[in-house]
Structure 1
Amino acid sequence: MFLPILMLLHSAFANYTDLTFELPDKEIQCFYEVLQKDDKFTLAFQVISGGHYDVDCFIESPARRMIYRKHKIRHDTFVAKAEFPGIYSFCFGNQFSTFTHKKVAFHLEVGELAPLLPIAEAKDSALTQLESSCNSIHFALSNVAKLQTQQRVQAAIDRLHAEDIRTHIIYWASSETIILFLVTVGQVIILKRFFTDKRVNASVANT
């Protein structure tokens, strides 16, 4: 019973790559994928944190031809087919930033998801109800995997925003506390000097 389920999960996730990485300032990071001719691929990415939430992104073919290039972009989705077989480069750049690191999440999908079981045209008989259900579950799991990836990215963005707001609140509250303490100490010193001056003047008058 467990073997078909494991095979189903493997088939559903075999064509996807999900990765979150940190991109240092003034650097370019590239990821490589071997594609065959006419392989369909989809690249989707989003900057999670850092600076103005923007990076450079470009894709190069094995012949070093630029297939896709965007400058200072926060998120995008690009779909294309491989014109030549070989190693394709998927690169992200942060050269324009002098000190800010960026955190980038990207999703790379290669090829189209094939049915778990042969389609009816490739068989002598039509699919049974069980086989049709397996194919439906197969595609549903693939969609669930994509939605979970999107949810994880959005959750990471929300968490980083919450931490950033928390840090600002702590700094602001600490600054207000320090200012209030200094004002209080200053008022005490001024009042103390005021009464001290009165005592000195009274002593001089009595003398």
Structure 2
Amino acid sequence: MRSITTLLVLFLTALLSILPSSVQGAALTTSVDPHTRACFYAWVDKAGEKVGFYFAVQSGGSFDIEYSVLDPHEKIVVTGVKERQADLVFTGNSVGEYSFCFENSMSSFAVKIIDFDITVESEPRLTLPVSAAALLSEHSAPLEESISKVDSQLTQITRMQRYFRTWENRGFATVRQTLSKITWYSIIDMLVMIGVAVAQVYIVRYLFDKGSTKRYRV
């Protein structure tokens, strides 16, 4: 009985050790006014952690933004100008607070709406003794492979959802802009037609005015 309990404890410990790594993250939406800078922060507990940064401009102007990522020492990790979206993963080599900033300095009146998320991923360590891990490696390998495959498929699905959502918003914005242009063109065209008709009436009245001393042959 004791041996069965020991094996069960070892199996559960091994299962916990091969589960996907713990992730701290946040999925957010923010608006950046013209000529303003918005920054968000994430804390890295230890050197070597994986930091993920994704954003996509959903509306505003040409759907582009300036962005920069700074480490705790205010050094630039990555930066970009006139970027519509980005999906980055880098290693946090310094412990401390990382800054993720958006700057809307290119627009004079357009407010940029941005979807983004920041993740800090910590890789777990195997705490089992080497001998116990060796005993369970043969049984845990298929499970570990299945978990890794599911995690990869979920990541692909999430990225596809982000992609379709971004292009849906941009397509809707393009349709709305086109509709606005057609509406204003129709209004201007109607005003021009009314102006021409009114001008023709006054010209005809002027030419055929009875009080006029001039005669015109038609």
1:44 corresponds to which residue? 54
Contact 2:50 2:120 in 1 (8 A): yes
Calculate the aligned-residue CA RMSD, in Å.
3.4
What TM-score do the two structures reach when normalised by structure 2? 0.69
- Identify which of 121, 135, 157 aligns with 2:170: 157
- Identify which of 136, 161, 176 aligns with 1:148: 161
Aligned length: 186
Contact 2:71 2:77 in 1 (8 A): yes
1:15 positional shift: 5.2
1:149 positional shift: 1.6
1:54 positional shift: 3.1
- Identify which of 44, 47, 54 aligns with 2:64: 54
The answer for unaligned runs of 5 or more in structure 1 is 1-10, 115-119
1:34 maps onto 2:43 in alignment: yes
- Spell out, residue by residue over 1:178-197, the C-alpha distance to the aligned partner (whole angstroms, 9 max, x if none): 111111122122223333x2
- Identify which of 78, 91, 105 aligns with 2:88: 78
- Spell out, residue by residue over 1:165-185, the C-alpha distance to the aligned partner (whole angstroms, 9 max, x if none): 111111111111111111112
Provide the C-alpha distance between the structure 2 equivalents of 1:113 and 1:158, rounded to a whole number of angstroms: 39
1:182 maps onto 2:195 in alignment: yes
Compared CA separation, residues 79 and 128, structure 1 to 2 (3 A):
closer
2:184 corresponds to which residue? 171
Provide the C-alpha distance between the structure 1 equivalents of 2:58 and 2:174, rounded to a whole number of angstroms: 9
- Matching residue's letter, 1:75: Q
1:106 maps onto 2:116 in alignment: yes
Provide the C-alpha distance between the structure 1 equivalents of 2:39 and 2:160, rounded to a whole number of angstroms: 25
1:136 positional shift: 3.7
- Matching residue's letter, 1:100: A
The answer for unaligned runs of 5 or more in structure 2 is 1-19, 125-132
